Amino acid sequence: MEMTSENAGVFDAKYRALTIGIILAVTTVAFEGLALVTIAPTLAQQLDGLHLFGWIFSAFLLAQILGTMIIGQRINRMGVFASFGISIFIFVTGIVIAAASVNMMMLLAGRVFQGFGAGAIITCVYYSITLGYPDKLRSKILALFSGAYILPALIGPFIAGSIAEHVSWRFVFWMLLPFIGLAVLLTLPAFRKFTVRRDSTPKNSRKEGYALLLTIGTGLLLVGLSLVTNWNGILLSVAGLVILIKPLRTLLPEGTLRARAGLPATIASRGFFVACYNATESYVVLALTDVKKLPADLAGLIVAAGALSWSTAAWLQSRYDIKDHGKGRKKRVMIGIGFMIIGVLSVLLAVGLPAGGIGFAVLSQLFTGFGIGLAHPTTGAIALQHAKAGEEGEISASLQFTDAFSPGLSIGIGGALIAISQSLDLGILTGILLALSLQFIFVLLSFTISFRIKD
């Protein structure tokens, strides 16, 4: 699909349906992920599954890795039309299962389908941008792609919290279906016109196998940790750790687990602060609704403050990056992580102190949001500047993998700490404080490793 006009835009007649469809698809996936942050405590309580709270997020994120990897390896041969259709079907299946859940295990099964479908859908969107737009329009559609996450981040948590509070958490899932249907109607006609690339390059099935092994190993580790008070839990944890180490080494740039200076340290530092941010956001909502007894919609507003702060910081860092031609990137990463350290301390005060509450919670979200808004896009830029010719795609994949795996593991470990606290009758507050303390350790590690980043 090639446009000859110099003034072509992504909303011109030739591209309009595809552009709107892509934005709708991305916005729907983003809203579904962000909405769960607010409603997760409510549905975990109603389904009698607080001990499995962390799995609400971990199941999604680990399955997302598989969806990204498997569809990414097959899309050249299957074509974007078939790949997107399969991805949407899997995602919708997950939505329906989750919305109709009668127990926690059924909900988690739905989350697995949703995660796989979400990862596959985003992969298809990236691929369709390559095929559907000329080079001069790709930066514009990618900017819209990124912007499609902003609105759900700002209003998604509050809307989901209000629906859960006044209607039902199940409706948060059901309401997504019309938007998915509209996205399909707008995109599939364009996708049908794309040529399937029957290339002779053998697909790298090893990556799929490693992704599957990583998911199995991480699952065993998290289940084992939640049962670590007995020998079965210890054995499962050790087995899971042994299984996941090799795939993790393979799927990350060499030297990442040792935080070797340069690209590996950049990826490692990013992994820790992304893990910290996502887990802190998840557990602060649980603390506000279950410990502080705030309504879900108010908790959603507090989370939205973090999203607004993130957007502001991301805009500022882009201005500074232009001004200093990228020379201050390492400093901005370290400043951002410093803001996050203050934010996580504020979360611990908000949850741990009897007088702590809305004030500290809002402060925590503003600081952590601003911090990751500085650090996240900047580490991406630093990582890509390390890329040699032809390595850009591989490094981009490493960044996406890190952004999915690290929070999946971190939130899962936090959930295991809550399960242990409940099994020992220590109460949910103790479990949440332990989970948040772990995130504080992670952000400190991220800051320490950031000294080894090279810009």
- Six-digit token string for 134: 């000329």
- Six-digit token string for 381: 């830029």
* Tens digits of residue pLDDT in 338-372: 999 999 999 898 888 776 667 788 888 899 999 99
Instruction: Answer yes or no: is 1 within a domain.
Output: no
Helix (H) or strand (E) holding 329: helix 329-352
Give yes or no for residue 330 having a pLDDT over 80.
yes
Instruction: Please give the pLDDT value at position 158.
Output: 82
Mean pLDDT of 414-422: 87
Helix (H, G, I), strand (E, B) or coil at 21: helix
State whether 133 and 211 are in the same domain.
Answer: no
Instruction: Please give the pLDDT value at position 272.
Output: 95
State whether 230 and 280 are in the same domain.
Answer: no
Mean pLDDT of 264-285: 91
Instruction: Answer yes or no: is 242 within a domain.
Output: yes
Mean pLDDT of 370-390: 80
Distance CA 106, CA 83 (A): 26
Mean pLDDT of 181-208: 71
pTM, two decimals, is: 0.81
Confidence at 204, pLDDT banded by 50, 70, 90: low
Give yes or no for residue 13 having a pLDDT over 60.
yes
Instruction: Answer yes or no: is 352 within a domain.
Output: yes
Mean pLDDT of the chain, nearest integer: 83
Instruction: Please give the pLDDT value at position 142.
Output: 63
Torsion angle of the four alpha carbons 398, 403, 407, 409, in this order, in degrees rounded to the nearest 10: -20
State whether 355 and 451 are in the same domain.
Answer: yes
Q: Which has more pLDDT, 5 or 33? A: 33
Instruction: Answer yes or no: is 67 within a domain.
Output: yes
State whether 195 and 210 are in the same domain.
Answer: no
Distance CA 219, CA 216 (A): 5
State whether 315 and 367 are in the same domain.
Answer: yes
Give yes or no for residue 103 having a pLDDT over 70.
yes
Mean pLDDT of 293-307: 82
State whether 362 and 268 are in the same domain.
Answer: yes
Q: Contact, 142 vs 129, CB < 8 A?
A: yes
Distance CA 22, CA 121 (A): 10
Instruction: Please give the pLDDT value at position 2.
Output: 43
What is the total count of domains within the chain?
Answer: 3
State whether 332 and 294 are in the same domain.
Answer: yes
State whether 381 and 272 are in the same domain.
Answer: yes
Angle between helices 428-450 and 329-352 (to 10 degrees): 160
Confidence at 387, pLDDT banded by 50, 70, 90: low
CA distances from 324 to 20, 236, 320, 336 (A): 35, 50, 6, 17
Distance CA 174, CA 95 (A): 7
Distance CA 80, CA 191 (A): 6
Confidence at 99, pLDDT banded by 50, 70, 90: very high
* Tens digits of residue pLDDT in 186-197: 888 878 877 665
Instruction: Answer yes or no: is 2 within a domain.
Output: no
Mean pLDDT of 279-295: 85
State whether 455 and 438 are in the same domain.
Answer: yes
Distance CA 409, CA 401 (A): 12
Mean pLDDT of 50-57: 84
Give yes or no for residue 443 having a pLDDT over 90.
yes
Instruction: Answer yes or no: is 263 within a domain.
Output: yes
Domain with 94 in it: 7-202
Instruction: Answer yes or no: is 125 within a domain.
Output: yes
Of 121-130, 265-274, 362-371, 401-410, which range is least confident?
Answer: 121-130
Instruction: Please give the pLDDT value at position 408.
Output: 87
State whether 348 and 242 are in the same domain.
Answer: no
State whether 276 and 406 are in the same domain.
Answer: yes
Which of 47-51, 134-138, 183-187, 449-453 shows the highest mean pLDDT? 449-453
* Strand residue runs (E) in 17-151: none
Q: Which has more pLDDT, 206 or 20? A: 20
* Tens digits of residue pLDDT in 121-140: 888 887 777 777 776 676 56
Mean pLDDT of 380-393: 70
Instruction: Answer yes or no: is 194 within a domain.
Output: yes
Mean pLDDT of 381-398: 70
Instruction: Please give the pLDDT value at position 4.
Output: 45
- Six-digit token string for 204: 């790298």
Q: Which has more pLDDT, 166 or 208? A: 166
Instruction: Please give the pLDDT value at position 15.
Output: 76
Q: For 391-397, which contacts have Cβ atoms below 8 Å and span 24 or more sequence positions? A: 395/253, 395/263, 397/72
Q: Which domain CATH number covers 357? A: 1.20.1250.20
Confidence at 393, pLDDT banded by 50, 70, 90: low
- What one-character DSSP code corresponds to residue 201? P
Which of 141-145, 379-383, 429-433 shows the highest mean pLDDT? 429-433
For a pLDDT cut of 90, what percent of the chain falls above it? 22
Instruction: Please give the pLDDT value at position 336.
Output: 94
Instruction: Please give the pLDDT value at position 147.
Output: 64
State whether 209 and 147 are in the same domain.
Answer: no
